[in-house]
Every structure is written in C-alpha cells, then in structure tokens.
Amino acid sequence: MKICEVYKTAESEGKEKHVPQMEIMRGQGKGGKDIVRVVVGKEVPHPNLVEHHIVWAQLVGVKQNGMVIELGKVNFTPVYTDPVADFHVNLSDLRSLIATEYCNIHGLWENSVDL
Ligand SMILES: [Fe+2]
C-alpha cells in the first residue's frame, strides 16, 4: 500500500468535516508576508474531545519548478486548541499549496489549491 492510498479527500467526507480548508490573505502577514490559514471544520466543527480530535495539520508548497517545500506543521491539544493555524509565508515562488491533517479516528485528509 502507498501513502497516497490512505489520504482522503472531499469525496470521502461525511457529516463531520475533515478536509482542511485554506484561506489566503496576501501581504497581511508579518513583514508583508502572506498568511495561509489552515482550518479543519470551517463550516461544520469537528469534535474536539480527547476521544476524537484533530491531532495535527501540515502545509506544503510546490514551487514553479516542481520542488516540494514543507512550510510548517502544527500539533493540536484536544479540548484546549481548535484545529486552526496561520502560516506566514512568501507565496511568490509557489504554484500550489497542499494541506494535510490527521484525525485520530478518521485518518489522513488532504486538500490542495493552485495559486
Ligand atoms: Fe474525525
């Protein structure tokens, strides 16, 4: 089995929303950088209990030449921390963004946007 076979996308989504959404705010970050906000459960909140929660979210960029850049990863603490993270990045050389997240019950999920 390959890792790409275990990542789920919007087609697998049920009543609980897992697909990480990305909000892009150009030039609004520290030092004029861009902000990419990764949100899980934007419209329908995902449970945030010790028994069932979002463990982490990761943001990856793909450069114009195809090179993959890991932009950041955030761990969440159930009950206390909502699964939302802001990454201050320079998007000028990137052609797409890929966000992934892990739910301790429902596994790995991904989403992507072309810039
Ligand atoms: Fe879940």
Question: Catalytic pick from 8, 33, 42, 52?
Answer: 52
For residues 56 and 76, the answer to whether their CB atoms sit within 8 Å is yes
Residue among 43, 54, 103, 63 at smallest CA distance from 82: 54
State yes or no: pLDDT of 96 exceeds 90: yes
Q: Please give the tally of structural domains in the chain.
A: 1
What is the CATH number for 36? 2.60.40.730
Q: In the sheet where 68-75 sits, what is the strand order?
A: 68-75, 54-63, 94-103, 107-114
Give the pLDDT confidence score for residue 16 in this predicted structure. Answer: 72
User: Domain limits at 40?
Assistant: 3-114
Q: Catalytic: 52?
A: yes
pLDDT range class, residue 92, cuts 50, 70, 90: very high
pLDDT at 80: 98
pLDDT, one tens digit per residue, over 44-67 is 999 999 999 999 999 999 999 999
Tell me: the pLDDT tens digits for 4-22? 999 999 888 877 789 999 9
- Note if the pTM is more than 0.85: yes
Look at residue 106 in the predicted model and tell me its pLDDT: 95
Q: How far is the centre of ligand 1, averaged over its atoms, from the C-alpha of 36 (Å)?
A: 23
Query: Is 53 a residue of the active site?
Result: no
